[in-house]
């Protein structure tokens, strides 16, 4: 079995690869565990930190048909499509968002179609496909009304994935991720980047800025659970999804004030004083359009699991990623 991870040099891509190396197997189309022979990490920059003969690091543009043809062949049975331009960046650079998020995804699906082997394709979608005036609890049949370019682009990819699956070109699954927190490393251009930095930086005794008000509600999932859900989504049979290849993954609803209170309980009040509150209207407008809770019954029925609460998310970060 060969596995391809687009965005393989990114945080989730590298973490997913490490977990797959640890597992050693994935379920094939017949739902039998099959040995992973090769994991290709495909990205614009090389994926670092691996010393395993099963890892194949390839640099290239996911929007380049020739590059895609080199990393997808008949033995590539599993594709985790994580490559994306993130929210604020897609909002600021419309053409880049279209190119990386929509055009590249279609070329990826089309490459699979041309090879003709119907691989499993797991697409990391987002809560940003929802927006505007939403019910308190978003249902599976809530109409998609994204209010950001990033959300629109994710919704378009979901529709393309569903149609390519309907035609039998791929076995696609679009898993809508809540905001992922807490991410290690440095802040990125995602509008939700602060959800990690207001915890990560104080835990590292560093100052940080929170660009939203304390009463802002968020829908979160830990990186640990995100990886588990991506793998679980891969290992389910196509019949589990039926005619609905899109699924909302479990999350935790929390206010920013709740997050800071948890930080204080774990690290003490001095840690909370490292946060400077400077609301940014542009960030607040984007975050405010996103859902703060959705119906998780279908995900739970299919065996997906979320985090217990925000404190468990922080403690997972401390165990998995906190340096020192």
Q: Is 324 a residue whose pLDDT tops 70?
A: no
Q: pLDDT tens across 185-211, in order?
A: 887 778 899 999 999 999 999 999 999
pLDDT of residue 190: 80
Q: pLDDT tens across 65-110, in order?
A: 999 999 999 999 999 999 999 888 898 999 999 999 999 999 999 9
pTM: 0.95
Q: Is 141 a residue whose pLDDT tops 90?
A: no
Torsion sign, CA atoms 11, 14, 20, 23 = negative
2-179+220-248: CATH number: 3.40.50.720
C-beta atoms surrounding 270 within 10 Å:
10
191-218+252-320: CATH number: 3.90.25.10
Mean pLDDT of the residues in the chain: 95
Distance CA 129, CA 152 (A): 6
Distance CA 282, CA 144 (A): 22
pLDDT of residue 185: 85
Domain ranges across the chain: 2-179+220-248, 191-218+252-320
| Residue-wise burial string across 144-168, b where 16 or more C-beta atoms lie within 10 A, e elsewhere | eebbbbbbbbbbbbbebbbebbeee
3-state secondary structure of 137: coil
Q: pLDDT tens across 233-285, in order?
A: 999 999 999 989 999 999 999 999 999 999 999 999 999 999 999 999 999 99
- Quick one: average pLDDT of 140-163? 94
The band of 181, judged by pLDDT with boundaries at 50, 70 and 90, is very high
The answer to whether domain 2-179+220-248 and domain 191-218+252-320 are alike in fold is no
């Amino acid at each position: 079995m060969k596995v391809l991870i687009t965005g393989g040099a990114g945080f989730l891509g590298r973490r997913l690869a490490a977990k797959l190396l640890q597992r050693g197997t994935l379920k094939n189309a017949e739902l039998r565990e099959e040995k992973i022979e090769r994991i290709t990490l495909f990205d614009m920059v090389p994926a670092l930190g691996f010393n395993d003969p099963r890892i194949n690091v390839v640099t290239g543009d996911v929007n380049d048909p020739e590059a895609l043809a080199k990393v997808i062949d008949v033995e590539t049975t599993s594709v985790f499509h994580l490559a994306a331009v993130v929210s604020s960046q897609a909002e600021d650079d419309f053409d880049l968002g279209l190119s990386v998020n929509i055009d590249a995804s279609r070329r990826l699906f089309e490459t699979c179609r041309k090879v003709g082997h119907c691989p499993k394709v797991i697409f990391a979608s987002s809560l940003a496909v929802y927006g505007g005036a939403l019910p308190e609890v978003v249902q599976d049949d809530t109409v998609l009304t994204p209010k950001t370019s990033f959300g629109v682009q994710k919704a378009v990819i979901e529709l393309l994935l569903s149609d390519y699956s309907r035609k039998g070109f791929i076995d696609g699954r679009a898993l809508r991720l809540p905001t992922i927190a807490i991410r290690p490393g440095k802040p990125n251009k995602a509008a939700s980047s602060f959800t990690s930095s207001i915890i990560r930086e104080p835990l590292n005794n560093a100052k940080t800025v929170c660009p939203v008000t304390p009463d802002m509600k968020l829908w979160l999932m830990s990186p640990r659970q995100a990886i588990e859900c991506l793998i679980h989504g891969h290992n389910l049979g196509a019949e589990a999804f039926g005619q609905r290849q899109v699924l909302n993954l479990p999350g935790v609803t929390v206010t920013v004030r709740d997050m800071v209170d948890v930080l204080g309980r774990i690290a003490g009040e001095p840690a909370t004083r490292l946060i400077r509150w400077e609301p940014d209207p542009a960030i607040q407008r984007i975050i405010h359009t996103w859902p703060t809770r959705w119906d998780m019954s279908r995900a739970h029925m299919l065996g997906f699991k979320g985090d217990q609460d925000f404190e468990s998310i922080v403690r997972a970060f401390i165990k998995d990623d906190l340096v020192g």
